[in-house]
Amino acid sequence: MRTGTWIEACAADAIEAEDVIRFDFEDRTYAIYRTENGDYYATDGYCTHEKIHLSNGLVMGSVIECPKHNGRFDIPTGKAKRAPVCVDLKTYPVKVEAGKVYIQA
Amino acid sequence: MASTDRRKRDYSITGPENQRAQERGLAAAEWYTCPIPRQRMKELMKRKNGPAIRDTLIWFGSLLILGYLAYLSWGTWWAVPAFLAYGILYATPGDSRWHECGHGTAFKTPWMNEVVYQIASFMVLRSATPWRWSHARHHTDTIIVGRDPEIITERPPVWKILLMQIFHLYGGPIELKRFALHTFGKLEEQERDYIPASEHRKVFREARIYMLILLAVVAACIYAGSILPAMFVFFPSFYGGIVVITFGITQHLGLYEDVLDHRLNTRTVYMNPVLRFLYWNMNYHVEHHMFPMVPYHALPKLHEEMKADCPAARRGLFAALKEVITALRKQKHDPAYVVEKPLPATARPYVRGVPQQQDTSLRSEVL
Ligand code: FES
């Protein structure tokens, strides 16, 4: 896997405010978020509790709730906030340029 | 038709079935979900405080009123129906509030879920943290033998367990033993399988708080020279258990084990508004298992979205109980027997498990 490379993930308007989408690249899956105030973030796509796609979860403010057991993470930092998640989520730098979202993976 | 002499299985999660489930690809597997547009799901998942605050006020308000009437009736025969009503209103919503707040979906505000979860856990005598983890496993591996710690009874069914649970006499003493164990800083072997080490201290702290409350109740009884204080706190967890088990057995019993489709191992039952209030809509159980993110107040709407892809819901509690009891009686002699409802023409086919390893010894009856 390449490290530190900026990868074009999606169009900025492909994600609604307070929502998340799944982005697969090479052999990895990511979750890309847009919070209510229009900020973009990226984390690993799977929950750290079990292999469940966070993109099916619910974004509430700056928190993502996992769809399987309702574990929660702070989106900007990836911090585990509610059991059964105990391990933090890996986060990735994000930039938006010319209407496109890039993540540095 | 398959053989009916299915070997007796070990339902403990520390036994060989755990390994077998993992080898068969049934542990932490991918489950079937009904297709619902993301936009609609987002609406259904939306959290609110209003419904749960209203319901919690009604619940505790009604408990106070019934408790006062029960107090007035103490020493007369009226105490029997009065305490029965109090006990049912104590334990039944105790169970459903424990469940919903454990998922963290009942209220929008996290601390409200947590406060009601802790209170309700004590009311139904379930250690808050261990049960949070046990329930997470129940959702990961629903009715997967050797993996799910919340299977009420094995096949063939053990009637003694079901009958004892009418007064919580099977699960209650087990929980009290666990409280004692946790109080002394120990865990059961099976608890180690699903509670991470980082949570152990919390488990022990909660058990010590429960123990202090129970000791306070005992002290109040000694001081009052009567069991009356315990009739309000602690005993209702037992004498009020009948509706908890009545609802509980409709959730999964008589249906498939070891499948990856909640439409096959979980039952949705239509209930009237009073029962739905007590149960906080957990009668929509297929819906809840498939989409645990949807709060209880949105489950009827979720049911509407899913029903074209699901078998027909059972029409009322009695219809569901009849189906369960009939199935359990058949399983007594034929443990391989399970109930399977036909899917509507609009539905996608059932997912019976990991395809190449389906259990051919199952014998189902299409109703
Ligand atoms: S898989 Fe995410 S909380 Fe369990």
Separation between Cα atoms, residue B1 and residue B147, nearest integer Å? 28
In a domain, B205, yes or no: yes
Q: Please tell me what DSSP assigns to residue B284.
A: B
For residue A25, the model assigns a pLDDT of 95
Separation between Cα atoms, residue A77 and residue A80, nearest integer Å? 9
The order of strands in the sheet holding A6-11 is A6-11, A100-104, A94-97
A86 CA from centroid of ligand 1 (Å): 10
The single residue listed with the structure tokens 């002499």 is B5
CA distance A96 to chain B (A): 24
Contact list in A for residue B198 (CB cut-off 8 A) is: 86
Contact list in A for residue B41 (CB cut-off 8 A) is: 56
The predicted model gives B290-298 an average pLDDT of 98
CA distance A1 to chain B (A): 26
Probe target for ligand 1 pocket from A20, A29, A46, A50, with the most ligand atoms within 8 Å of CB: A50
Closest by CA position to B254, among listed B338, B321, B165, B145: B338
Q: Which fold has domain A13-96?
A: Rieske Iron-sulfur Protein (2.102.10)
Separation between Cα atoms, residue B122 and residue B141, nearest integer Å? 26
Separation between Cα atoms, residue B25 and residue B193, nearest integer Å? 18
For residue B6, the model assigns a pLDDT of 57
Polymer length of chain A: 105
The predicted model gives A50-61 an average pLDDT of 96
Separation between Cα atoms, residue B101 and residue B105, nearest integer Å? 6
**C-alpha triplet A99, A94, A56: angle, nearest 5°:** 90
Mean pLDDT across chain B: 94
Confidence of residue B8 (pLDDT cuts 50, 70, 90): confident
| CB B142, CB B256: distance < 8 Å | no
Nearest by CB to A58, from B103, B133, B293: name it.
B293
Contact list in B for residue A50 (CB cut-off 8 A) is: 28, 140
Which residues form the domain of B24? 16-366
Q: Count structural domains, chain B.
A: 1
Report whether residue A68 contacts ligand 1, using a CB cutoff of 6 Å.
yes
In a domain, B203, yes or no: yes
Q: What is the number of alpha carbons within 13 Å of residue B116 lying toward its C-beta?
A: 28
In a domain, B34, yes or no: yes
A27-to-A30, A44, A45, A90 alpha-carbon distances in Å:
10, 12, 12, 16
Confidence of residue B7 (pLDDT cuts 50, 70, 90): low
Domain boundaries, chain A: 13-96
The predicted model gives B252-268 an average pLDDT of 98
In this prediction the ipTM stands at: 0.91
More confident position, A80 or B4: A80
